[in-house]
Structure 1
């Protein structure tokens, strides 16, 4: 199953992967806020409160994991952007040199 996910992710762009992870992070964060609100406003038994705190701990770990993945993907996206700009600049320089070399001849 993991290999299938990796192959699927290889076919997606970095930007779409960032969007997908941000959406998942937002959903996890919303669920975490709902759980925190529930723990403050409702009268819960000790067992229910412990289960809710365990669930909140799991959600916090997920949010942290997603933040780490997002940081990595944003770095990769930044690196790709710099490479694209560098290639554009080199292409423009070659074109500029080609045009002015033709005029001088």
Structure 2
């Protein structure tokens, strides 16, 4: 799948923007923009169906409705990408935490083993089950 130069430029600009903002903050901002866009779209749609309009006014509102629908679609696509990136970041954080937890557990077990003279996991011999037999 080839990307147009405009898509590459938009992608690079979005990546640069993400470097300065956290992904979660960017998601919040985009959700707010999408909410405002949907409210505006709802208002335009209600004007279209409620009022008697001249053909020129109707065309103008239809054009505005189309623009708002395209903008909302763009915001939804970008939100989908950001949420995917946020999931990847979360999984990476969990993986790094798990590695550090395992390393810490290994390190503390080795330290305890060294302090006990290498016999940390050795148990005394078991007593016979029935003495005197």
Deviation at 1:10, TM superposition (A): 2.4
**TM-score by structure 1 length?**
0.90
Q: Which has the higher helix share?
A: 1
Q: Could you tell me how far apart the structure 2 residues matched to 1:24 and 1:34 are?
A: 15
Taking the aligned partners of 1:57 and 1:66, their CA distance within structure 2 comes to 14
* Counterpart-to-counterpart distance in 1, 2:44 and 2:17: 32
Instruction: Report the secondary structure of 2:96's partner residue.
Output: helix
Q: CA RMSD in A?
A: 1.7
Deviation of 1:6 (Å)? 6.5
TM-score normalised per structure 2: 0.72
Q: Secondary structure at the match of 1:43?
A: coil
User: Which protein shows a greater Rg?
Assistant: 2
Unaligned runs of 5+ in 2: 1-11, 115-133
Unaligned runs of 5+ in 1: none
Instruction: Name 2:80's counterpart in structure 1.
Output: 71
Q: 2:104 aligns with which of 74, 77, 95?
A: 95
